Structure 1
Amino acid sequence: MNFELLHPADQLVMLMERIYRYGMTTTSGGNLSILDENGDIWITPGSVDKGSLSRKDIIQVKPDGTVIGIHKPSSEFPVHERIYRARPDIRAILHAHPPALVAFSIVRKIPETRLIPNFVEICGNVSIAPYDVPGSKGLSIKVTNEFQKGNNVVMLENHGVFVGASDLFKAFMSFETLDYCARLQIEASKIGSIRPLSDRYIRISKEKQHVEMDEFVNKSISSEEREARREMCALIKRAYDQQLFTSTQGTFSQRLSDGSFLITPYFKDRKYMEESDLVRIVGDWKEAGKIPSRSAVLHKKIYEKHPDINSIIIAHAPYVMTFAVTDCEFDSRTIPESYINLRDVKKIPFG
């Protein structure tokens, strides 16, 4: 799905439904906005059920302050407007109250983003704004002050979080990733002490580049490949709905009978994954016009070394990841079913 081709009103409805559906805000809480090329701000309304928004509920605010719509703009509109004025590079803003991030805001702490390599890059610098009354001028000033420091994610004491980005999907990606970090840290702290990655490993992750591959045009698509694409997309979406994947994290590949394999693309929303998004890899060649996951080479080497393996999944399931970010070992012998399916689960050092 090309999210950028959707009208601002449709983007706002789609993302708010998604945020509400996954329990990341309340019926009355949270607001989204987009600043378009004309200087108009499209924003979700105030005092309207966030679980049942439709296109007609979205408000358009002109540069001169004229309001177009059947509702009043969100009470947090002054915050959005002030951020846009202070940061011309920001074109979309997300504000919500996910329970895990609210918990961190109450104790005045920022979630640890160094638990998984590229999460630091996705979230960027995160700060906390001092408390002020929701919808007040004081709050808009305090939040904007943090954005003016170069932060794109600002938590609010005893409130929630504001995220700004060049488009709404990127704002959601940062928001979802920070929320994942918060949930993972809360759960991991129940079984042991978390072990953040060192600055060296974070730096190496940032410098990681896509492997250069020659391209081929996939002119002929077999029935086997079509079926594999369909099944993969169904499972990828299912994994996202079960919160085993995030919007951009989680890699799925499947080997075809000719030795080639299909793999998820880089930086494509897992929830809306379509058959045409998947990338076919043939030897050292990739399908033309697409960017495969940065772990494509790893998948290729596993397939080459293990001819009995025909599918690989890399996921960040939050409860399993609690063992990955602490010193605790995962014991699959706790119940018969887990041992029958998993056998012994090995833990290898980061690298």
Structure 2
Amino acid sequence: MSKNIKLVHPRDQITEVISRIYKRGMTTTSGGNISIIDDNGDIWVTPSAIDKGSLRSSDIICVKKDGTIVGKHKPSSEFPFHKAIYEARPDIKSVIHAHPPALVSFSIVRQIPNTNIISQAKHICGPIGYAKYRLPGSDDLGEVIAEEFEKGYKAIIMENHGTVLGGSDLTDAFERFEALEFCARTILYGSQIGTPNYLTDDQIDQFEAQVPAERPEMESIEYTSDEVEKRLEICEIVKRSCQQGLMISSYGTVSMRWKDNDFLITPTDVNRWDIDLDDIVQIKDGKRETGKTPSRATWIHQEIYKNNPDINSIIMTQSPYLMAFGVTDSYLNVRTIPESWIFLQDIPSVKYGTHFKNNNNSEIVENCTTALIIQNDSVIITGDKLLQTFDYLEVAEFSAKSIVMGHSLGEMVPINDDQVEDLRKKFLA
């Protein structure tokens, strides 16, 4: 969870998160609403009929506990069900409602996404409820949604409407929202190229049972100027990945080699959108920076650096089109356009569980070319400079997207062997 969001006024929290949702194409100018209930029982909520693309803190409405409305606009027309959720579930402190396209797809075919598609999604989202259709803005809608929340759900599919999610704070709610929409997208894209494969509950339990990077702490820490510069690079790429939809707030690991086999890596349990220089963890001589918990994937990064001296940066993430291939048996053939093959060549895939610390790591290390897919988990991208590695990630995701989108047009016709050989001679010789 972000260490920063607790210090921010509810108005600013809501404005920031609705901006993220809008810019990521997960709601429209008029659609969606967010609220926070504070310790006084006052509810801060987005206004009705105000552009979500230019919302300011001053536009956020406060509905006092006694019903008094403070602000220059009307509260969201869906305020009744926000209020009903808070009354039904005192542990819920923030609510997000929106109409993200993939979850709306499930809503209109009246299905619930199976979060066992990705290893940590079930843990983040929890069980998913289902609310029958009722008139938007009505007390009836509030009642059916509150009934679902009373059953213990924190995420609900709203029949022919969208989704509503709650959390212990807005960061928690947003992580759940983002993870559920990611699951929906991955299932939809995977279904276009093959049949999605789901994890068992036992496999997910094994993932969650891993202790995040237990290792001794350093006795002393260096913060040289080049080390700080690398921290800044990592933070910038993480935020850019989130903005581009290549990473979600609850998952994604970025690291950079510092010197020899020492490196810097992102932490566990810090919202990726809010990551800061002080969150980055230094790993030196196998020890971690005092007081910080590095990513549970730290050991994978350590082995890659140790065995590949030419690799100086790693991005381990989930992007929806790449993961469409990661959850199906479909092969990602990047012989699409010259750039894709030159940068990526072949993208191998390894089985789920290979990334667990207690398993033999040789398969990941041996197959760690520019890009590697871990089934139902993530994609690992490696390179020299971090910006170059990020470029490889973008190229890989764009290539996967082109194949998924082109699938409805006909069979892919890849660059042939002679054309590949010409590329090899010109660019890789």
Q: What TM-score results when the alignment is normalised by the length of structure 2?
A: 0.79
Task: Kindly report which structure 2 residues correspond to 1:247-262, keeping only aligned pairs within 5 A, or say none.
Answer: 247-262=249-264
* Residue 87 (structure 1) aligns with: 89
Q: Which residue of the other structure, out of 2, 18, 21, is the alignment partner of 1:16?
A: 18
| 2:196 paired with 1:169 | no
* Residue 38 (structure 1) aligns with: 40
Counterpart of 2:210, as a letter, is: K
* Residue 65 (structure 2) aligns with: 63
Structure 2 unaligned spans of 5+: 354-429
What are the superposed Cα offsets for residues 118-138 of structure 1, whole Å, 9 maximum, x if unpaired? 011011011110000001011
Shift of 1:334: 2.6
- Work out the number of aligned pairs and report it: 351
Shift of 1:339: 1.7
Shift of 1:268: 1.8
Task: Kindly report which structure 2 residues correspond to 1:233-248, keeping only aligned pairs within 5 A, or say none.
Answer: 233-248=235-250
CA contact (8 A) 2:4 2:274 kept: no
Counterpart of 1:54, as a letter, is: R
CA contact (8 A) 2:213 2:294 kept: no
Q: Which residue of the other structure, out of 265, 271, 275, is the alignment partner of 1:273?
A: 275
Counterpart of 1:203, as a letter, is: D
1:8, 1:192 → 2: CA distance? 43
Helix, strand or coil: the match of 1:332? coil
Helix, strand or coil: the match of 1:140? helix
Task: Kindly report which structure 2 residues correspond to 1:1-351, keeping only aligned pairs within 5 A, or say none.
Answer: 2-216=4-218, 219-351=221-353
CA contact (8 A) 2:154 2:167 kept: yes
Which sits farther off after the overlay, 227-236 or 139-148?
227-236
Shift of 1:261: 0.5
Counterpart of 1:167, as a letter, is: D
Shift of 1:274: 2.0
1:173, 1:73 → 2: CA distance? 24
Shift of 1:208: 2.0
2:234, 2:92 → 1: CA distance? 34
Counterpart of 1:142, as a letter, is: V
1:20, 1:76 → 2: CA distance? 18
Counterpart of 1:180, as a letter, is: F
1:102, 1:349 → 2: CA distance? 31
1:278, 1:198 → 2: CA distance? 33
- Residues 93, 218 of structure 1: CA spacing in aligned structure 2 closer, same or farther, 3 A cutoff? farther
Counterpart of 1:162, as a letter, is: V
Shift of 1:258: 4.1
1:223, 1:118 → 2: CA distance? 35
Helix, strand or coil: the match of 2:350? coil
Helix, strand or coil: the match of 2:115? coil
Which sits farther off after the overlay, 89-98 or 304-313?
304-313
Structure 1 runs, 4 residues or longer, greater than 6 Å off? none
Shift of 1:309: 2.1
Shift of 1:219: 4.2
2:220, 2:111 → 1: CA distance? 49
Q: What TM-score results when the alignment is normalised by the length of structure 1?
A: 0.96
Which sits farther off after the overlay, 228-237 or 74-83?
228-237
Helix, strand or coil: the match of 2:247? coil
For the aligned residue pairs, the C-alpha RMSD in angstroms reads 1.4
